[in-house]
Amino acid sequence: HTEENVENLVIGSGYGGAVAALRLTQAGKKVVMLEMGLDWEKEGGKYKPFSNLITPKNNSTWLKKSTQAPMMNIAHFNKKFTGVLDRMDYENIKVYAGRGVGGGSLVNGGMAVQPKKSYFKEIFPNLNVDEFWDNYFPLAKKELQVNEIPEDYYAQTPYYKFARVGESEAHKAGFETVRVPNVYSFDYMKKEEADEVPKSALAKEVIYGNNHGKQSLEKTYIKKAIQTGLLHINDLHRVNYFQETENGYAVFVDVIDTEGLVVAKKTISCKNLFLNAGSIGTTKLLLTSRYKGKMNNFDASLGSDWGNNGNIMTGRNMVNTLFNRVENEATNTNHTTGTGSKQSTIPVSGIDNWEDKEHSFFAEISPLPMGVEVYTALYLVINKVPTPGTISYDPSVNDIQINWEKKNYKHTVENAKYFIKKMNKANGGTPAGLLWKGAYGPDICYHPLGGAVLGKTTDLYGRVKGYKNLYITDGALVPASIGVNPFLTITAIAEYCMKEIIKNDYSVSTK
Ligand code: FDA
């Protein structure tokens, strides 16, 4: 057991943690960051290369002996490993998260989507929306190196046939579509296709990590923070809980090895504590600390307003469209069938049905890169969460439970059914029952949000109510849904909070 003392401690290295680390170090502050997953860059990247979707190794999966993808898990491993993608299974909901320095940025699709202004306003009624549109979203986009797919490339590459087909089918069904910016470098992708560089997005790499091309956080925010010389990252450090001390907080940490076994215990004392373990991780730390660390001053809202961003995965089996189209082709209508045997893993288009008040949704046109034509269209549909769930702590198992029932996701299933029905009516096809029982996956959550919400559990700048020098700047701040893929919003909110925190809470101690 060792004891350490630091000034500024950041728990978690996803979007919230990365922004906190950069802005603190740029303000001249020393920062220690704790991350339960691996630093994938350390020792020359010895735990890489990351796995692709088709032949995953044990570095694909967080401490389980088989892959835990939303579908088609056939790979088994001899040994558990602190792999990059975690799935946390709760009753009625399976929550995915990235593990390692960079958090979700290591495993996500890179879609950098700005929410609808009106919905942002609805979700955050106390924030100055124009300030976000003028300052924080542009800043987040710049730092995250967001770029857009060039139209001429999109129009002709075989790797985006799935998206072009998805768009044209959506139009045929009367839906509007949008092109979506991304942090994956499209210059790099073009070079992949031209065989000038090693392939990544075009070689089925994404949810188990990208080896090239994606500007994940270790290449943007975290890299910049390291360059200040003031950031120290401890990987394989899993925080259990914390408690208040005279001068700040004592944080109780398990140091683990790559098989997940505890090899050391540490108590790290700090003055300023930044919780950025993601929606589930941060809420769990707070609830565990209330129980074990006797932190009884948290606001009563802690654990409420949790949601899955209205996530539901669904798909369409296009085999019967094949027969229709073969007929069409025979009559020379020049239709091509299916979504293509070559597919980029990086989504770039979406179906925007947000303005339809009865069925508001945003559907990401997702790839299903199996290397062969599978005649299947895949979508991640994002919805409002009118009835959020809650998270509570269960001392008997020392874990949280997510209280998430049919009432919380009923409307997402209804919206997805409406969407698929309309698509099939216009284009042919059947709900993709081969992917999931019943063809809909309302229990698959890629976008956990909330649990310690801005303006409720914290003040309007991420300061935890009831305590001093205790902050949250991650997805836990966003109540239940934001209507689009969330990391751009999480980054923008973290930037906004950190600006205020550094300006006001650090101004005295700098003197
Ligand atoms: P995030 O989860 O990123 O970071 C938290 C970090 O804290 C993790 O590194 C974790 O290991 C660490 N941690 C947790 N508990 C800890 C503890 N007790 N001790 C120490 N460390 C701890 N979004 C989007 O906008 N566009 C997209 O295309 C996608 N696609 C996508 C695909 C997949 C497969 C997933 C799983 C997710 C997405 N997302 C996405 C969602 C996006 O990645 C997610 O919203 C953000 O990563 C959340 O950022 P946070 O900073 O809140 O937490």
Question: What share of the chain in percent tops pLDDT 70?
Answer: 96
Q: What pLDDT score does 330 carry?
A: 44
- In terms of Cβ atoms closer than 10 Å to its own Cβ (0-12, 13-18, 19+), residue 253 is buried
Residue 281's nearest CA partner among 86, 466, 39 is: 86
Is 226 touching ligand 1 by the criterion CB < 6 Å?
A: no
Is 53 touching ligand 1 by the criterion CB < 6 Å?
A: no
- pLDDT tens for 231-268 read 999 999 999 999 999 999 999 999 999 999 999 999 99
* Distance in angstroms (rounded) separating the CA atoms of residues 415 and 357: 11
According to DSSP, the residues that pair with 458 across neighbouring strands are: 464
Q: What is the mean pLDDT of residues 146-156?
A: 97
Res. 472: pLDDT tops 60? yes
Res. 327: pLDDT tops 60? no
CB 470 within 8 A of CB 464: yes
Give residue 440's identity as a one-letter amino acid code. Answer: Y
Is 70 touching ligand 1 by the criterion CB < 6 Å?
A: no
Give residue 192's identity as a one-letter amino acid code. Answer: E
Task: For residue 466, report the distance from its CA to the centre of ligand 1, in Å.
Answer: 26
Q: What is the mean pLDDT of residues 199-213?
A: 98
Position in ligand 1 atom list of the atom nearest CA 113: 25
- In terms of Cβ atoms closer than 10 Å to its own Cβ (0-12, 13-18, 19+), residue 66 is middle
Residue 22's nearest CA partner among 352, 501, 507, 384 is: 501
Q: What is the mean pLDDT of residues 450-458?
A: 98
Mutate to test the pocket of ligand 1, among 447, 493, 497 (most ligand atoms within 8 A of CB): 447
Task: For residue 511, report the distance from its CA to the centre of ligand 1, in Å.
Answer: 35
Average pLDDT, the chain: 95
Q: What pLDDT score does 334 carry?
A: 38
Res. 432: pLDDT tops 50? yes
Radius of gyration of the chain (CA): 22
The answer to whether the pTM exceeds 0.95 is: yes
Residue 123's nearest CA partner among 501, 389, 386, 408 is: 386
The terminus-to-terminus CA distance of the chain in angstroms comes to 35
* Distance in angstroms (rounded) separating the CA atoms of residues 146 and 378: 24
Q: Provide DSSP, 399-456.
A: EEEEE--HHHHHHHHHHHHHHHHHHHHHH--EE-TTTSGGGEETTEES--B-SS-TTT
Catalytic residue among 212, 364, 411, 495: 364
- pLDDT tens for 67-88 read 999 988 889 999 999 999 999 9
CB 99 within 8 A of CB 85: yes
Res. 104: pLDDT tops 90? yes
Q: What pLDDT score does 74 carry?
A: 86
Per-residue pLDDT band for 328 (boundaries 50, 70, 90) equals: very low
Q: What pLDDT score does 71 carry?
A: 85
Mutate to test the pocket of ligand 1, among 270, 446, 471 (most ligand atoms within 8 A of CB): 446
* Distance in angstroms (rounded) separating the CA atoms of residues 109 and 98: 12
Q: What is the mean pLDDT of residues 185-212?
A: 98
Q: What pLDDT score does 324 carry?
A: 54
Position in ligand 1 atom list of the atom nearest CA 475: 52
Q: What tokens does 272 get?
A: 């300023």
Position in ligand 1 atom list of the atom nearest CA 99: 11
* Distance in angstroms (rounded) separating the CA atoms of residues 144 and 127: 22
The mean-pLDDT minimum among 171-175, 261-265, 334-338, 394-398 falls in 334-338
Residue 110's nearest CA partner among 312, 345, 283 is: 345
Tokens 């009559």 belong to residue = 331
Residue 337's nearest CA partner among 366, 372, 375 is: 375
Question: What share of the chain in percent tops pLDDT 90?
Answer: 90
Residue 212 annotated among the catalytic residues of the structure: no
Task: For residue 428, report the distance from its CA to the centre of ligand 1, in Å.
Answer: 36
Res. 333: pLDDT tops 80? no
Position in ligand 1 atom list of the atom nearest CA 106: 43
Neighbours of 247 (CB within 10 A): 11
Catalytic residue among 169, 218, 447, 495: 447
- pLDDT tens for 13-44 read 999 999 999 999 999 999 999 999 999 999 99
Res. 363: pLDDT tops 80? yes
Question: How much is the ipTM here?
Answer: 1.00
DSSP state, 4? E
DSSP state, 51? P
Q: What pLDDT score does 321 carry?
A: 64
